[in-house]
Amino acid sequence: MFRGVTTSAPFLDGETMILSGNSQLKLVIYPIQWSESSSALQLINWVAEVDGLSDAGEINYGAKIDDAEQVLKHFVRFDLPFLNHAQLIKSTRHIFVWPMVDCDPLASWVQGRVALLGDAAHPMYPIGSNGGSTAIQDAAAIAELLSTAGSDGPGIEAALVEYQQQRLPVVSDVQHACRLMLPEKVMDEVEHRVARGTTIPARYGENLQIALRLAQKGRT
């Protein structure tokens, strides 16, 4: 997957995260924060996922991409009416390419007074921003437990064990869930239905409206 961050004018409502494509080619684009240099611009993060790059032998993972066309050549058929994704990618100064990797859940994150958290404890596929959110939750849990542990060794070690007991089972489930690639399966199903000329049944309409309201941050 190719990744980059650039500044751009807000798109749509300035809070929307875009997932466009399917399990073979996918663009993920979302704002991070307002730019420090201009109140009219936002920092935009984008990810361009291309299946099969490793098989093609054309990628040096971890390397910087000097030519945006190395990314855009895979997305020539993409057309986002509310955002010029090609210009967004071309305006990015630093583009890097990374593999999609994870690892099996670990049996333990803690040894004595040493504990793992975040990607060190549970690297996972970047699905639904779960890597970042679980790392934040790890930090909150361990901070709360250490705040009442005292300064003695046994108290700290007990707090770390409790941290592991709270977080490891939950995050292991998230790791397994990310492997299911559920957003991509939904996108593939939509593409197949559109190709067949199949409409979404009316009975799903209410659920879709509920999902839309829930997806609109701070809105009802």
- For the segment 9-16, the average pLDDT, to the nearest whole number, is 90
Q: How confident is the model at residue 35 (pLDDT cuts 50, 70, 90)?
A: confident
Does residue 220 surpass a pLDDT of 60?
no
Do residues 58 and 33 both lie within one domain? yes
Our count of domains for the chain comes to 3
- The answer to whether residue 63 is domain-embedded is yes
CA distance linking residue 120 with residue 108, whole number of Å? 12
Are 91 and 114 in a shared domain? no
| Residue 164 and residue 122 in one domain | yes
pLDDT value for 51: 86
User: Which CATH number goes with the domain that contains 154?
Assistant: 3.50.50.60
| Residue pair 92/68 in contact by the 8 Å Cβ criterion | yes
The percent helix, strand, coil of the chain (3-state, each to 5) is: 40, 20, 40
Give the residue from 153, 51, 80, 163 showing the smallest Cα distance to 118: 163
CA–CA dist 220, 213 (Å, integer) = 6
How many Cβ atoms sit within 10 Å of the Cβ of residue 156?
17
Residue 102, domain member (yes or no): no
Q: 14 and 72 in one domain?
A: yes
- Tell whether 38 is covered by a domain: yes
Q: Evaluate whether 98 touches 4 at the Cβ level (below 8 Å).
A: no
Residue 104, domain member (yes or no) = no
pLDDT in tens, 76-102: 999 999 999 999 999 999 999 888 888
* Distance between CA atoms of residues 142 and 137, nearest Å: 9
Boundaries of domain holding 198: 182-215
